[in-house]
Amino acid sequence: MRGESLSGRLTMSEQGHSQTIRQKIFLLLTEKEMTAREISQAIGIREREVYEHLPHIALSATAQKRKLVVLPFGCMSCGYVFEQRKRFTRPSRCPRCKNTHLETPLYRLV
């Protein structure tokens, strides 16, 4: 069982460089919920690059009969939730209170 995790699948570090960045993100998001920052740290890319890959991952997920679930951005000051937001990038500020202290969303493939 060398090179396999307890679940029988290879872990991210054991799979090496044979996968593309999007494949690595796809695998991470099937395993657990993560923020864009957590994804960027796990793969070793900039957070902004993660946001560039997410729309493509959502399309790939749809083709595989899966869905990229996004727990939305929220304002930490007034509680406003960006439920209707279609873009994956971070909004600059809250439309209600104009504060810039926003929660980051969690992403998961189901």
CATH number at residue 98: 1.10.10
Asked if residue 6 belongs to a domain, the reply is no
How many structural domains are present in the chain? 1
Residues 6+ apart with CB under 8 A from 99: 75, 76, 77, 78, 93
Paired sense of beta strands 102-103 and 74-75, if any: antiparallel
89 or 41, which is more confident: 41
Asked if residue 2 belongs to a domain, the reply is no
The predicted structure's pLDDT at residue 2: 44
- Structural domain boundaries enclosing 31: 12-109
61 or 4, which is more confident: 61
Asked if residue 4 belongs to a domain, the reply is no
Asked if residue 54 belongs to a domain, the reply is yes
Lowest mean pLDDT among 10-14, 49-53, 80-84, 85-89: 10-14
Residue whose C-alpha is closest to residue 67's, from 75, 79, 77, 59: 59
CA distances to 8, 35, 57, 71, 82 from 61, in Å: 22, 18, 6, 16, 22
Distance CA 36, CA 49 (A): 9
Distance of CA 77 to the CA centre of its chain: 24
